[in-house]
Amino acid sequence: MKLKLYISLLVSFITIAISAQEAALTATVSKNKLGVNQRLRIEFSINKQGADNFKAPNFTNFKIVGGPSQSVSQSWINGKVSFNQSYTYILQPKRKGEFNIPSASIEVDGETLTSNPIKVIVLDAVEVPKNPNDPNYIAEQNIHLVAEVSKATPYVGEGIYVEYRLYFSDNVGIYDNAVTEAPQYNGFWNQEIKRNGMPVKNGMYNGERYRYAVLHKALLIPTASGKLTIDPMKMDVIVAVPTGRADFFGNVITRQVRKEFSSVKKVINAKALPLQNKPENFTGAVGEFSFDVSLSKNTLKANESSQISVSVKGKGNLKLFELPKIETPKELEVYQPERKENVGIASDGLKGSVTENYTVVPQFKGKYKIPKTSFSYFNPKEEVYQTITTDDLYVDVLEGKEVPSDSNTNAVSKQNVTVTGSDFRYIQTSTNFQPTQTEDFFKSTWFYIFLLLPILAIPVGISIHKKKEERNSDILGNKLRKADKLAKKYLFEAQKQLGNKEAFYEALERVLHNYLKAKLGVETSDISRDKITDLLHGKNIDSSTITNFINVLNDCDFARYTPITNVQMKEEYEKAKQVITQLDRQL
């Protein structure tokens, strides 16, 4: 009696929660652009119960080749109720052109709701294979490897970037991928741009909605003018293609195929820097920069050092040009500069600063001028050369020798040593040693500690040895510990994806198949659940363990099409670890 009451209350609560949602009727299509001999799927969805009198739009320019098919789904996750009722049609265009599919309508609580109209572009007929249901053809039509270049006509020395994207539609799934041939950047200075992971984003490709992941991104700086070629990237992708059938639980059954995809070769037309108005001191700097020359000390004594810093800051090809050289009077001794680079890599070029520090040591008293220094660079945005000139710098040496009157300032006459002040001090030649008082180690506290330490270590060592023997004799416990360690090793990849639903369940399913492949020596990803069950029965595995393993595999398929929380993913992870431990102990 109480059970019936609880069920009634639960149903009432769910009904009230669903009725509190704001009702909306939405329309989506599988593609917005297609050939006249192709088909598209349109789906009308309502998110509230009690909807009635659905009226489809007038598909004037299309022929209905399938549908309407109706489906209803309802879920309760973390106290939130979601409901969806959909009506699906398969349409084929009658002719080429640009058409609008009008709005559909439905009644909810006495109110009529309408869907959004959708624009569809119908183009010339496309080549269709003899068997359009071929999994290889489906994979090829739903996955694209694309190279995106930020600028096709940069100047020599101007930074651009290339980004490799893998587009894939909702009609297929991706289980694994590997780059088989990396792109070559001949004629470019290049550097990979590091990214945090590979998040999946939504985007458009050829007028259709796709999901995509950025596989590789690199900064390129042309080092020569003319046509420069970026060779294609090639990769193998394991694609899960729907077979059109479903299992007992209604999950779509897929077939895995391996396909090689290649990006299109890209040609960059690098423009030579203009010769007109090119400064004489130009050394190849391209970008937007600031320039500065500074002294650490303006006033000093002879033989006291100072530093001259020559610095270029900004954005551009900072690592590909030389800094201007400074000119100093011959009375100032200048050492080779120390170069320091503080440069970071971004998608639009190198950013930071490059500095050269000169150490200067004056030899004679006087005031010396360091002439002004100029730095020239080419600004690709304004397409002009720009020059920055610093002010003159002065070094004032207050104390020191006078500059010799003769021209040979490097000649120094021999002089006698003169004693001034405390240059030479008294050196003591005799000593007065006193004995130090030291504590005798014999019969000290440390003496007795070290004496008793080996005696105390004997029972400790016996205790550790007994515990080790007990652990070694526990055969079942050792097997469980070994199996648990193996499960954690296999599940490490899935654990890293916790919180990312699709990546986590794809990794989890791949882990389970890899484990069986390692233990049974067969490729389980291409066989059915029944075949896996027979293989495990042949290895004398308990029926309950086999059932748990198959349930985890089914959960991986089911979870991709339903909302899943982080808590549920952690529970699924623990369940998988437990079932691998049980399997390994029995195998």
Pick from 359, 361, 364, 360: which is nearest to 409 by CA? 364
Residues 330/409, Cβ–Cβ less than 8 Å:
yes
Amino acid at 278: K
Domains present along the chain, CATH in parentheses: 25-123 (2.60.40), 135-270 (2.60.40), 288-399 (2.60.40.740), 475-586 (1.20.120.330)
Per-residue pLDDT at 293:
92
Mean pLDDT by 10 residues, the chain (587 residues): 55 49 80 82 81 83 80 66 80 87 85 86 75 76 88 90 88 81 88 81 83 89 90 87 71 79 89 90 91 88 84 90 87 85 81 90 84 92 92 83 55 44 51 60 75 82 80 63 60 73 77 75 68 80 82 74 71 81 77
**Ordered DSSP codes for 477-507:** HHHHHHHHHHHHHHTHHHHHTTT-HHHHHHH
Taking the C-alpha atoms of residue 565 and residue 501, their distance in angstroms, rounded to an integer, is: 8
**CA geometry: angle 50, 54, 60, nearest 5 deg:** 165
227, 289, 290 from 159: Cα distances, Å: 16, 14, 18
Using DSSP bridges, classify how beta strands 266-270 and 306-316 pair: parallel, antiparallel or unpaired: unpaired
DSSP, res 274: P
Pick from 558, 375, 16: which is nearest to 8 by CA? 16
Per-residue pLDDT at 408:
44
Using DSSP bridges, classify how beta strands 349-362 and 306-316 pair: parallel, antiparallel or unpaired: antiparallel
387 HSE (CA, 13 A, CB side): 12
**CA geometry: angle 564, 565, 570, nearest 5 deg:** 105
Q: Tokens representing 256?
A: 């895995």
Pick from 80, 91, 96, 111: which is nearest to 27 by CA? 91
Taking the C-alpha atoms of residue 426 and residue 449, their distance in angstroms, rounded to an integer, is: 50
Per-residue pLDDT at 428:
56
Per-residue pLDDT at 407:
43
**CA geometry: angle 573, 577, 583, nearest 5 deg:** 145
Q: What's this model's pTM, rounded to 2 decimal places?
A: 0.49
CB burial class (10 A; 0-12, 13-18, 19+) of residue 18?
middle
Amino acid at 291: F
Per-residue pLDDT at 490:
65
**Ordered DSSP codes for 363-380:** -BSEEEEE---EEEEEET
